[in-house]
Each structure stands twice: as structure tokens, then as C-alpha cells.
């Protein structure tokens, strides 16, 4: 009897704790995302005020980087099809920030406790990084296409134009831009 009560309590706690980190159900509707994850709206508004990066640019980038999965990682690589060789990169979390860039952010902002799987930390990172992008490349914070290219390639890679030989990446950047436009229009309607 005692063990069954403990088991039931553990199962209830596990069921209740999953909702905060699960991705939203409807990723194609910004209003639905923010209605389901109300604390995300506050986090995005804070970043928009702090850095001037539009919510829709950050949301569209997150969509294409992690699909709003808090613990997202790059796929594992295998040799001979079966022997695991690690991951493609250290990209992790909502923002898919790599270790070195995340460490740079924590040093530059003094946010030493930031975690890539926390939405508020991830969007603050993205606002900070996109502000750095504007300073280092001249790309406007509202330019989802070029912000994504610089986000993916890094500031040096973007300034060198390394993306020009990667048609697939320019195609993804165009999708990020289209999603930012979609999210922007949706966010206007749900504000009313």
C-alpha cells in the first residue's frame, strides 16, 4: 500500500512537470504559442525592450533552430553507419548556441548562471547576439534573413560571405524571413 501511494505521487509529479519544457502544440501560430506558453510572451517582450530585436525575428529563428525544443541537440554522427562519433557541434537548447558563443555571452553580459535550455536565457542570448550582429556586420535587427545568415555563420563568416556558396542555407534564411513575416502579422492580431 505504501509503495503504491509513493508511485502514484511520483507519476503525478512527473506528469505535472512536463508541460513547461514541452514545445508548443501549434508552431505555425505565434498567438497560439504565446497563449500556451504565457511566460514566453513576457520573456520576448523583455528582450524586445532591452535589445530592440523584434519578437517575431527571435521566434522565427528559434523555430528553425530547435522547433522550440528546450533540450535540442544536433544529431549524432556515426562512422561505418553504426559507431557513434559524437555530435556535429556543441549547439544546444532553444537557441542552438554553441559552447564558445554561449560562454562569450555569459562573460559579456555577466549572466554567468544562464542556461541554454531556459527560454528566458535563450531569448536574451539571441537579443544580445543579434545586437552584436548589427554592430559587427551592419545587419538591421529587423532583417530576419541576414540576421539568420549571421547567426548561423558567425559574424566573421557572414562578413566574408561564406553563406553565398551554401544555397541550402540561403533557402533556410528565406524560410526564417517568411516565418518572421507570418509571426509578425499574427502577433498584430493577437495584441488586439
Q: Which residues sit opposite 78 in a β-bridge?
A: 84
Q: How far apart are CA 100 and CA 10, in angstroms?
A: 37
The tens digit of pLDDT for each residue in 156-168 reads: 999 999 999 999 9
Pairwise CA distance, residues 113 & 115, whole Å: 6
Of residues 175 and 7, which shows the higher confidence score? 175
pLDDT category of residue 18 using cuts at 50, 70 and 90:
very low
CATH number of 26-191: 1.10.530.10
Q: What is the pLDDT of residue 141?
A: 98
pLDDT, tens digit (0-9, with 9 covering 90-100), for 104-152: 999 999 999 999 999 999 999 999 999 999 999 999 999 999 999 999 9
What is the percentage of the chain residues whose pLDDT exceeds 70?
A: 79
Q: Domain limits of the chain?
A: 26-191
CA-nearest of 115, 144, 121 to 43 is 121
Burial (CB count <10 Å: 0-12, 13-18, 19+), residue 76: exposed
Amino acid at each position: 500500500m505504501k509503495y503504491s501511494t509513493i508511485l502514484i505521487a511520483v507519476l503525478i509529479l512527473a506528469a505535472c512537470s512536463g508541460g513547461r519544457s514541452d514545445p508548443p502544440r501549434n508552431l505555425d501560430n505565434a498567438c497560439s504559442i504565446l497563449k500556451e506558453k504565457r511566460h514566453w510572451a513576457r520573456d520576448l517582450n523583455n528582450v524586445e525592450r532591452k535589445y530592440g530585436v523584434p519578437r517575431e525575428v527571435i521566434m522565427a529563428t528559434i523555430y528553425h533552430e530547435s522547433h522550440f525544443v528546450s533540450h535540442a541537440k544536433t544529431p549524432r554522427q556515426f562512422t561505418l553507419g553504426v559507431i557513434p562519433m559524437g555530435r556535429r557541434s556543441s549547439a544546444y537548447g532553444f537557441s542552438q548556441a554553441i559552447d564558445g558563443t554561449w560562454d562569450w555571452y555569459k562573460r559579456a553580459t555577466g549572466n554567468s548562471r544562464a542556461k541554454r535550455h531556459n527560454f528566458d536565457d535563450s531569448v536574451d542570448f539571441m537579443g544580445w547576439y543579434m545586437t552584436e550582429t548589427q554592430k559587427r556586420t551592419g545587419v538591421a535587427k529587423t532583417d530576419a534573413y541576414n540576421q539568420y545568415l549571421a547567426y548561423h555563420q558567425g559574424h566573421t563568416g557572414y562578413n566574408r560571405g561564406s553563406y553565398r556558396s551554401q544555397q541550402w542555407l540561403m533557402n533556410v534564411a528565406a524560410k526564417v524571413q517568411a516565418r518572421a513575416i507570418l509571426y509578425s502579422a499574427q502577433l498584430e492580431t493577437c495584441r488586439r
